[in-house]
Chain A
Amino acid sequence: MTRLTVPKTYKLYIGGKFPRSESGRTYEVATKKGAFLANAALASRKDARDAVVAARAAFSGWSGATGYNRGQVLYRIAELLEGRREQFIDELMATESLSKSAASAQLDTAIDAWVWYAGWADKYVQVAGNGNPVSGPYFNLSTPEPSGVIAIVAPQDSSSLLGLVSVIAPALVSGNTVVVVAHQNAPLSAISLSEVLATSDVPGGVVNILTGSPAEIAPWLASHADVNGLDLAGAEQLEWVDLQIAAADTLKRVLGPVVGVPAPSVERIVQWTETKTVWHTKSLI
């Protein structure tokens, strides 16, 4: 008896659910040599819109959690990634034509990046915030707070999993919610990552992953008035100047294209925050 293979359906990840594209479209994901791997959903502008709505709805809960709690939740994602090693390595080998050791190395780096960023969740405020010196009987305190919904174009040239992790983790640390357009030609590990997120403690809507054409979706996210930040890390091949102009029209924070994968940095965390400064009287001491 031969057995029929059961191929996996790769869908979008919006609001904690796995919908197909509203448009009903799919596209073929192939190996670098052109062999068929899977059908992935080709997200439309309305999927992007729904993702922003879901991200906005999740913002108050995620940003309202304590930094300590967010750190634990993010760390647990790293644990779950570790438990699914084989699946991620297989997908990376298939989509990026990597050797097993190269795929394994990419996964290790991605997991380490999660852990590194998770550790910052209850520490970045101490670094980016400040007690300001004033000449009066007051405290004057500046603290960073999350910007809101961050739209991200994930790195597109190589390292699909590491690239994705390196752009969403820093945005999540401070309490932002994200809508991310995954690697167009190698989206499989992004969707598998969303399955990890769905079974972890990350509330639905905090991370929303779209697969499809960044060139089609990014302009809608860049001009969307309910998006607070735009990370163009993987937009090198797009008309990213136009995207920046569209983002400026609705007052977004913007990060430009990056060659390769952005290295872990506190700057990427602080980029997606707003500084709140308050005065507080000392007189009750």
Chain B
Amino acid sequence: MTIEQAIALAPAERAVNLIGSDLTEKSLKLHLEGLAGVDAVGLEQRAAGLGTRSIKTTSKAWALDTIIKLIDLTTLEGADTPGKVRSLAAKAVLPDASDASTPQVAAVCVYGDMVPYAADALGSAWSNGSDNGINVAAVATAFPSGRSSLPIKIMDTKEAVANGADEIDMVIDRGAFLSGKYGVVFDQIVAVKEACRRENGTYAHLKVILETGELNTYDNVRKASWLAILAGGDFIKTSTGKVSPAATLPVTLLMLEVVRDWHLLTGEKIGVKPAGGIRSSKDAIKYLVTVAETVGEEWLQPHLFRFGASSLLNDVLMQRQKLTSGHYSGPDYVTID
């Protein structure tokens, strides 16, 4: 065990700057275990308090449009087909066919092999590495379990990037994390980050999925968030959507607090993506409030905050139609996913 702990880790820039150039499993572990514990009751109370805000009329209209702009429209099913991805892309470009003023979503999120179809279907709406347009995000590294060897995870990532993915959603090895092998998780994130490099030297954005539903404690969520940031993640993401519980407000609040602390410490801005389980506009608005109150309204932009969701968009569109028409809308007036 002690021998293992002396193994030097990949020299990720952030970790080297914060922990020191002699980065080892031991020094990383000491650093993570030195983080303050989470006050679970306080955290949940704070999250519940933020969820009670009443957002009405013009603020609500703004919130609904903002939510749409922050959505990663997702399909991650074994039964996905190029046709399904094409219809998803069409919805990303024009979410509400009855109202052309509806904003476009931030990205479509698909499995790696579906990236070419998604990029093709988005056509001129595809950002293709630029700042404008809709991104294509791909899940990689043996999503959702993360149970495969590192070379396979790297190839998985490289292939998705070569296919044109603008963003990579990777999963961490929760088994290694829970057994205290922080170095393994760290090295894997660093390696996948490197695999996100395109031929021209730029990087696809890396979102690190912590799968908080499997981490058991808030302390672990804080450690994993910190670890993912140190290793070079651009975004920290709550869940795959395949494990229950998926995103919850307290967990997202905790991750936002880590992001806030990191920003205060280094000036760097890390993104947060709650994913899974957010189905209603009402829930999504609670997240917007939480973001604004924790890290500031500046974070309510697609490069700093995302919703990973599929059914959420339809509910937001129905709420939007209600604001426009004055009467309640129904599922017959939005597309079937």
- Which residues in A have some Cβ–Cβ distance to B below 8 Å? 49, 52, 56, 220, 223-227, 246, 249-250
The 3 closest A-B pairs by CB, nearest first: A226-B330, A223-B327, A225-B330
Q: Which of A220, A225, A246 interacts with B329 by CB under 8 Å?
A: A225
Chain B, residue nearest A227 (CB): B330
Note all chain A residues with C-beta closer than 8 A to B330.
56, 224-227, 250
C-alpha gap A112/B327 in the complex (Å): 38
Q: Which residues of B contact A52 (CB under 8 A)?
A: 328
Interface residue B78 (Cβ < 8 Å from any Cβ of A) = no
List 17 contacting pairs A-B, 8 Å CB cutoff, sorted by A. A52-B328, A56-B330, A56-B331, A223-B327, A223-B328, A224-B330, A225-B327, A225-B328, A225-B329, A225-B330, A225-B332, A225-B333, A226-B328, A226-B329, A226-B330, A226-B332, A227-B330
Complex CA–CA separation, A227 to B332 (angstroms): 10
Nearest A residue (CB) for B330: A226
Which residues of A lie under 8 Å from residue B321 when comparing CB positions?
A: 225
Residue tally, chain B, CB below 8 Å to A: 9
Residue of chain B at shortest CB distance from A48:
B328
Q: Which residues of B contact A249 (CB under 8 A)?
A: 327
* A contact residues around B329 at 8 Å (CB): 225-226
- By secondary structure, the B interface counts as loop
Instruction: Name the residue among B329, B330, B332, B333 with the largest chain A CB count within 10 angstroms.
Output: B330
Closest residue of chain A to B333 (Cβ to Cβ) is A225
State in angstroms the CA–CA spacing of A274 and B138 once bound together.
44
Docked pose: A227 CA to B331 CA in angstroms: 11
* Min distance, Cβ A35 to any Cβ of chain B, angstroms: 38
Q: How far is the CB of B36 from the nearest CB of chain A, in Å? A: 40
Complex interface: chain B residues within 8 A of A49 (CB) = 328
Q: Which residues of B contact A227 (CB under 8 A)?
A: 330
B331: chain A residues at CB < 8 Å are 56, 226
Chain A residue at smallest Cβ distance from B329:
A225
Alpha-carbon distance A246/B327, docked complex (angstroms) = 9
Most buried by A among B326, B327, B329, B331: B327
A225 to B326: give the CA distance in the assembly, Å: 11
- The closest CB in chain B to the CB of A45 belongs to B328
CB distance from A170 to the nearest CB of B (A): 23
State the CA gap A52–B333 with chains docked (Å). Answer: 15
Counting chain B CB atoms within 10 Å of each CB, the highest count among A225, A226, A246, A250 belongs to: A225
Q: Give the complex CA separation of A250 and B330 in angstroms.
A: 10
Q: In the complex, which residues of chain B have a beta carbon less than 8 angstroms from the beta carbon of A220?
A: 327-328
Contacts of A246 in B (CB 8 A): 327
Report the Cα distance A56→B333, complex, angstroms: 15
A56 to B328, CA, bound (A): 14
> Nearest Cβ distance between residue A280 and chain B, in whole angstroms?
26
A52 to B331, CA, bound (A): 12
> Which chain B residues (279-337) contact chain A, with CB distance < 8 Å?
321, 326-333
User: How far, in Å, is A103 (CB) from chain B's closest CB?
Assistant: 38
A224 to B328, CA, bound (A): 5
In the complex, what residues of A have CB within 8 A of residue B332's CB? 225-226
What residues on B are CB-neighbors of A224 within 8 Å?
327-328, 330
Most buried by A among B328, B329, B330: B328
How far is B327's CA from A223's CA once the two chains are assembled, in angstroms?
6
**Chain B minimum-CB-distance residue to A249:** B327
What is the distance, in angstroms, from A222's C-beta to the closest C-beta of chain B? 9
Min Cβ gap A220→B in Å is 7
Output the least CB separation between B99 and chain A (Å): 14
Complex formed: what's the CA distance from A176 to B332 in Å? Answer: 17
Which residues of B sit under 8 angstroms from A223, Cβ to Cβ? 326-328
List chain A residues, Cβ under 8 A from B328.
49, 52, 220, 223-226
Residue in chain A with minimal CB distance to B326: A223
